[in-house]
Amino acid sequence: MKHEITERTAVRRLGLITIDLGFEALPGMVWHADTFDFDVQHHQLRATSLGQRIVAGDPKLRESVIKAGQELAADGVDEVATACGYFSVYQQDLEIATGKAVHSSPLMMLPELLGQLPAELGVLVVWAADSGANPAALTAAGIDPANDRVSSTAMPADGAFALSVLGDDAIDVNTITDELASVVTAGTVTSENQTHKVGAVLLECGEMPAFASTLRSQSGPPIYDYNDYLRGCFTGSTDQQGGRHATRR
């Protein structure tokens, strides 16, 4: 019997460092199994009060993030990413520790977005924590925190997003979806009154895409989120298709 030998194309795999927020991922969140149509291997960070420690910039998290990246690299992933926008501060450390291309945060899109927009337009960044713009995270993304073409707004501390996604309350998708749309609308008005007209909106948080449907249905500047960032980095595409190829460890 004659056996036909065919050449198989190796499947590329993205290693994604996620954080344990105490709930299962919702459709659209960067760490949901159906978000991407390429292979994703998850490595979840688990620790007490992890969300609060990230926002506070706890220096002890660095070792955990680097170790997660190294373990993913050892497992043979082709590139490494994280699921938290504040993790831009670990971009260079992860590159050195893993020897892989690293995609740490959608904030890394800011220099390109600003370069594409006319000089009179800026980018509005929507932050998960009510503390707003994180200077260290912006600097790590190549942005001077004093750059007035980058304006910031944030989800309110007493709002549904903060109390559920970052807290312990039950998640109400409709309420948070409306809240996110309101925050962007108010932030856009404030930015245009104080600095630049908004030419693009960037959602910093990996959970926000699950609540962006109202934003995307409204007229206004284009919305960029975590999923757009990773899809563009790993495949060169910004297509909004979901996938089913996530594995966990």
Strand partners, 127: 154
Position with higher pLDDT, 46 vs 69: 69
pLDDT band at 34; cut points 50, 70, 90: very high
What number of other Cβ atoms are within 10 A of residue 90's Cβ? Answer: 23
pLDDT band at 48; cut points 50, 70, 90: low
pLDDT band at 47; cut points 50, 70, 90: low
- pLDDT value for 49: 66
CB 102 within 8 Å of CB 230: no
**pTM beyond cutoff 0.85:** yes
Rounded CA separation 16/108 (Å)? 16
Q: Which two tokens stand for residue 97?
A: 């520790």
Position with higher pLDDT, 140 vs 53: 140
Q: Is the pLDDT of residue 40 over 60?
A: yes
Domains of the chain in start order, with CATH, are 13-105+232-248 (3.40.50.12500), 107-225 (3.40.50)
- State the average pLDDT over residues 3-17: 65
Q: Which two tokens stand for residue 229?
A: 């960032």
- State the average pLDDT over residues 32-43: 95
pLDDT band at 233; cut points 50, 70, 90: very high
Q: Is the pLDDT of residue 240 over 60?
A: no
- pLDDT value for 77: 96
The residue to which tokens 């460890």 are assigned: 249
